[in-house]
Amino acid sequence: MVATIQNTLRDKAWARWTVLVLVASMMFFAYMFVDILSPLASLLEQTLAWDKGDFGTYAAGEYLLNVFGFLILAGIILDKMGVRFTGLLSASLMVIGAGIKVIGIYWAEANTVGWLNSWWTDMPGSAKLAMFGFMIFGMGCEMAGTTVSKILAKWFKGKEMALAMGLEMAIARVGVFAAMWLSPIISERFAVNGVNSVAAPLIFAALLLVVGLLNFFVFTIMDTRFDKQLVAIGEAPSTKDPEDEFHVSDLKQIFTSKMFWIVALLCVLYYSAIFPFQRFATNYLELTLNIDAAEAAGLFKWFPILAMVLTPFLGLFIDYKGKGASMMLIGAIIMVVCHSVFAFVLPAYPSKVLAMITILVLGVSFSLVPASMWPSVPKIIDEKVLGSAYCLIFWVQNIGLCLVPLMIGKLYEATGGYLVPMIVFTSFGVLAFILSLFLKVEDKRKGYGLELPNKKKTTEETPVFATAAETASAAKQNQIVEESDEKGYRQESAEK
């Protein structure tokens, strides 16, 4: 039995790290596709007659169907059908959505999308079709995010889990760098009659999503074999216990948790000040610094670099030293400072050096908050409903990510500049800071252990910050040991 356990795929370093590469590459391509048009906002206005409002509405489309309940359904699908089915479904949805978006932009450049102008005349036909494709893609992308988290928890159980999750986030965020860097280059390379192409970078990113789908197929082969091994060693049952299945009534545990809502609101405020900002950042730098789109994209492409480098190390720090709630607080403060600079200082003193420093520092915030937030959720939510909790947090987050780009685009059109939008981003940071304080107070009062290390010093003791499931499991094992000792004592007495 021991030899079998040591020979499972999870215990082979090459296998578990191969799994990380396969699923992380899929998320890298997804993140790249999300922002592939962000550096081309001005080109969309010039060639396809989009305005800032159209761009904001298109960007909001990524989250629209998730907001109207798909993410909750995604959690049920994940719990019911498992990571292989859900991962293949999410990757397929991303490819389908990307294809629709490519068709909309490609047809528009070829002037064959005029039939779409006959309805909803407030937006160009290309924006309508691109938005619809982005809606389908967004369903798959958000579902993939939760699926990958569950995959890494499974394959790195008892191993380098925090490091693996940190590396996955880091690899995915490099996709933003790649999009900002490659999109203008590809656009210029495939220019027609002196006009840069919008469709070419989009087609390139869509083809990479197909590669991501193929990578996930390889993962399913490995995971199928791994599941058979888990059943063979008794770590996984051959049939699923009905008590372990998802029940809608289990959601009550989440909705009635004060800490869940603090974390969920903190999440939506923080990410609403980051991801929507990414969509408009290139155009903001272009106008504020009076530079062209390619140079602006070249500046902002460095935003995720510090996040990429720092996130894995921050995950290890939290594992061994803790301070998760403090990290969220510091991250919110950094975000307030950076967006204040974008709102007030940079327009008054347009400096590329200042812009670069602010972008890099904002990347530090982008490391601190996610690295500390996601590992904190298991400390406040029972393991049985943990997957549903993550999906619900993503659902709340998607509400903000859907509405904020739309709001920012409309505010720009109404005010004629980026001052008010940047003040809005700053206000999100202020509210996130207040919620971080509430989180620390509630953690100190109730003892969830957000400031304590994730790494258990011993396996014999139940940590004070264990989840309800962990505490119950530890208590059950102690009871078994006590009963065994008592039985042995009685047997020994009888023999005497």
Task: Dump pLDDT digits (tens) for 161-196.
Answer: 767 887 888 888 888 888 988 998 999 999 888 888
Please check the confidence at residue 114 and state whether its pLDDT lies above 80.
no
Measured distance CA(144)–CA(135) in Å, rounded: 14
How many other C-beta atoms are found inside a 10 Å radius of the C-beta of residue 382?
18
Measured distance CA(258)–CA(317) in Å, rounded: 27
Inter-residue contact 371 to 327 (CB < 8 Å): yes
When pLDDT is averaged across residues 399-412 and rounded to a whole number, the result is 87
Residue 370 confidence (pLDDT): 76
Inter-residue contact 368 to 381 (CB < 8 Å): no
Q: For residue 117, name the pLDDT band (cuts at 50, 70, 90).
A: low
Of 5 and 239, which is predicted with more confidence? 239
* Domains contained in the chain, CATH given: 6-237+244-455 (1.20.1250.20)
For 68, residues 6+ apart whose C-beta sits below 8 A from its C-beta are: none
Q: What percent of the chain has pLDDT above 70?
A: 83
Residue 22 confidence (pLDDT): 95
Residue 60 confidence (pLDDT): 80
Burial of 401 (0-12, 13-18, 19+ CB in 10 A): buried
How many other C-beta atoms are found inside a 10 Å radius of the C-beta of residue 18?
16
Which amino acid is located at 238 in the chain?
Answer: S
Residue 494 confidence (pLDDT): 43
Query: 266-282: per-residue pLDDT in tens?
Result: 989 998 999 889 888 98
Give kind and range of the element (H or E) at residue 460. none
Query: 459-484: per-residue pLDDT in tens?
Result: 433 343 344 444 444 444 444 434 44
- Residue 116 tokens read as 């779409």
Measured distance CA(59)–CA(131) in Å, rounded: 7
Residue 476 confidence (pLDDT): 45
Please check the confidence at residue 3 and state whether its pLDDT lies above 60.
no
Residue 227 confidence (pLDDT): 85
Measured distance CA(97)–CA(132) in Å, rounded: 8
130: nearest Cα among 255, 260, 20, 41: 41
Question: Is the Cα torsion angle 123, 126, 129, 135 positive or negative in sign?
Answer: negative
When pLDDT is averaged across residues 329-342 and rounded to a whole number, the result is 95
User: Which pTM value belongs to this model?
Assistant: 0.71
Which amino acid is located at 295 in the chain?
Answer: E
Which amino acid is located at 306 in the chain?
Answer: L
Q: Tokens 């907001």 map to which residue?
A: 67
Please check the confidence at residue 65 and state whether its pLDDT lies above 90.
no
Question: Of the given ranges (242-251, 283-292, 469-478), which has the lowest mean pLDDT?
Answer: 469-478
- Residue 65 tokens read as 């169907």
How many other C-beta atoms are found inside a 10 Å radius of the C-beta of residue 15?
16
Strand-pairing partners, residue 195, are 192
- Residue 113 tokens read as 């999308």
Q: Tokens 């957000």 map to which residue?
A: 450
40: nearest Cα among 206, 208, 207, 181: 181
474: nearest Cα among 373, 380, 383: 383
Measured distance CA(412)–CA(299) in Å, rounded: 22
